Amino acid sequence: MSMANRLEDESNVSVLGTIIRKRQGTYSKMAKAKKLDTDYRNKVYLTDSRDMRELPDDSVGLIVTSPPYFNIKDYAKDGRQEKSHSDSHAKQIGDIADFDSFIEELVTVWKECFRTLKPNGKLIINVPLMPMLKAEFTTHENRHIFDLNAAIQNSILKSIPGLYVLDTYIWNRTNPSKKLMFGSYPYPSNFYAQNTIEFVAVYVKEGKAIQPSKEIKEASKLSQEEWVEFTKQIWNFPIPGKGDLAFGTHSALMPEALAERCIRLFSFAGEIVLDPFTGSGTTLRVAKRLERDYVGYEVMDSYEEIINKKVAKNACVKVERLEPKKTVQITNNEVDSKILNKVFNSDFSNLLKKIPNNSIDLVCVDPPYNLKKADWDTFNSDEEFFSFTFNWIKQIAPKLKPGGGFYIFNTPRNSAHILAYLETLGFTFQNWITWNKKDGFTSTKKKFLPEQETIVYVTKPGGGITFNADSIRVPYESTERIAAAKTKGILKNGKRWFPNEDGRLCPDVWQITSERHSNKENGKVKSSAHPTVKPLALMERIVLASTNEGDVILDIFAGSGSTLVAAKRNNRNFIGCDADPTFVKIARQRLKNVEQL
């Protein structure tokens, strides 16, 4: 249904236009005051959307797009995939031959989309299920379906913290292709489903929406009937036919009805609607008709003529990228030398304000466990404890470089909740490390004696991971067998294996005696100035595994300073803090003692 049909009469359309023009006039005045460029509105940039530097941060209200369908479509050919209308483009993501690489390159576009979206803005991605090309399979046994929607969703949730799945709709194509999927027809058991649906996934950027004026809200309102119909999860639309201006030119046309439903559900009049894979320009055409501004990116300049026809203006702008991309790559920042290699008597929030984002190579923390060992380890409820824990995790996450390691000590139960939260932020799980410290929390005959602590190890997506496996090898357990193998080797899978002189690769169960039990006098446990001192050997294993010399390590619950001492002993930089002045004094003395070694 068009905007004109929805409004009561022509005068209402005129009123809406007046409201939007006034609003855009206000935007222009604000932009001039802030020296911003507003020329990007209602343009289509003929360039690669992996770099959308023309668009400022937090400027777009809604993104509606249908990305390339991997290798199923050749976008240099006509709608019937028979004749070429242009040369293939070197930057066409759809021409990437490897599926995983294709998904990774799409993530670069989604990161740019996230950057440009306003808080609470929506990213809508329309894709089908895709059978592999027929030429690539010869039997029913090796036929494979690429679930593009699931692959994109997983890549977004892993790589872009702050972008969440809001909803998923199904486009039921009511006039599917005449090309039938026969499979083993007419006999069982390898029938293929007819490919008649596509997914419409809706993602939302975290943050509170800025509410528009009352007039804009009223002009954008849906009727009750529209609300009921639009929010049904199955959308029944035909594939565009000859009535579409791009019929026969573009091979994967989006129905105007689908674009209209998305735009009316998830944007206000006057907002910017972006399509980073503009294609023939359907999303932009509908956005203009619904009194929204638009911006498009399209790498195939052969679509310039049809895009201009659809938006009824010469909107396309050819762009030459003369310098490297600036907006997509994440810059690893440097920490101010004034706070390097120091331990502060400070609340962690105050310290984190001084540390730039993407500047820390390793975060290693031994935070409160809620075991009531001291005031700082005591919370009134699980809810209060996890609220505190998730708060410091969320604050520290941006400080870590992409690819950086994040180690968190805690009880097994608490660690389960912590890992689940880390994964919602997009961190990649690496290991659930069990530290067998040979020192139980309590003595009990009512259940198994707990002699372990958990160390959750995750990494931040988007960069290379440092893991020095050879630096943390451990002794072989079977000493006699290994001694014999040094001369003769051991036959394994037809090959002769010889042991590594430095020992075996480090497993995820660590047998390291706790500090409390390794420092006994006359068989009795010595009292410690800190109740949960971690063994230096334990912290050095983490430091050596996940950093290189010169890297920066952060510990916001420094305690007696074991992490910082391990860093200093191994030529790493460190930053630490603790709210307790007594613990900070202990840590500083231990660090001073390292200098005297």
Q: What pLDDT, in 10s, does the model give residues 198-251?
A: 999 999 999 888 888 999 999 999 999 999 999 999 999 998 877 777 666 656
User: Phi-psi region for residue 128, left (φ > 0), alpha (ψ -120 to 50) or beta?
Assistant: beta
Find the mean pLDDT for residues 522-528.
54
Please tell me the class of the 3-318 domain: alpha beta
Q: Say what the pTM is.
A: 0.52
pLDDT at 117: 96
- Give strand ranges (E) for 371-451: 400-410, 428-436
pLDDT at 502: 86
Name the residue type at position 574: F
How many Å apart are CA 524 and CA 244, to the nearest integer?
85
Query: What is the per-residue pLDDT across 109-119, written as a single tens digit (0 to 9) for each?
Result: 999 999 999 99
Of the chain, the end-to-end C-alpha distance in Å amounts to: 79
Query: What is the per-residue pLDDT across 239-252, written as a single tens digit (0 to 9) for each?
Result: 887 777 766 665 67
| Residue with the larger pLDDT of the pair 69 and 474 | 474
Output b/e per residue, 241-255; b: 16+ Cβ within 10 A: eeebbbeebbbbbbb
pLDDT at 400: 95
- Give strand ranges (E) for 109-181: 117-131, 145-147, 163-173
pLDDT at residue 343 is higher than 60: yes
Residues 407, 377, 562, 595, CA torsion sign: positive
Query: What is the per-residue pLDDT across 349-375, written as a single tens digit (0 to 9) for each?
Result: 999 999 999 999 999 999 999 999 899
Residues 441 and 456 sit within 8 Å (Cβ to Cβ): no
pLDDT at residue 328 is higher than 70: no
Which of 438-445's residues contact partners 24+ apart within 8 Å by CB, and which partners? 438/511, 438/513, 438/514, 438/517, 439/513, 439/514, 439/516, 439/517, 441/371, 441/411
Highest mean pLDDT out of 123-137, 327-341, 355-369: 355-369
pLDDT at 39: 83
pLDDT at residue 554 is higher than 80: yes
pLDDT at residue 553 is higher than 80: yes
pLDDT at 77: 46
The secondary structure of residue 87, as a DSSP letter, is P
Q: Could you give the C-alpha distances from 379 to 189, 262, 374, 422, in angstroms and in order?
A: 59, 45, 10, 21
pLDDT at 329: 44
Same fold across 3-318 and 342-466+512-595: yes
pLDDT at 324: 45
Reported confidence tier of residue 32, pLDDT bands at 50, 70, 90: very low
pLDDT at 26: 47
pLDDT at residue 75 is higher than 60: no
pLDDT at residue 52 is higher than 50: yes
pLDDT at 9: 39
Query: What is the per-residue pLDDT across 158-173, written as a single tens digit (0 to 9) for each?
Result: 899 899 999 999 999 8
Query: What is the per-residue pLDDT across 437-471, written as a single tens digit (0 to 9) for each?
Result: 876 555 677 888 888 899 999 999 888 899 999 99
Residue 296 β-bridge partners: 44, 275
| Residue with the larger pLDDT of the pair 187 and 18 | 187
Among 65-69, 137-141, 407-411, the range scoring the smallest mean pLDDT is 137-141
Query: What is the per-residue pLDDT across 137-147, written as a single tens digit (0 to 9) for each?
Result: 556 665 667 78
* Percent share of the chain, pLDDT over 90: 57
Token match 């679509």: residue?
303
207 closest CA partner among 241, 162, 175: 162
Token match 């019937």: residue?
80
pLDDT at 379: 96
Q: Where are the domains of the chain?
A: 3-318, 342-466+512-595, 473-504
Find the mean pLDDT for residues 29-37.
41
Reported confidence tier of residue 100, pLDDT bands at 50, 70, 90: confident
| Residue with the larger pLDDT of the pair 597 and 261 | 261
Average pLDDT, whole number, for the chain?
83
How many Å apart are CA 135 and CA 541, to the nearest integer?
50
CATH 3.40.50.150 fits 342-466+512-595, yes or no: yes
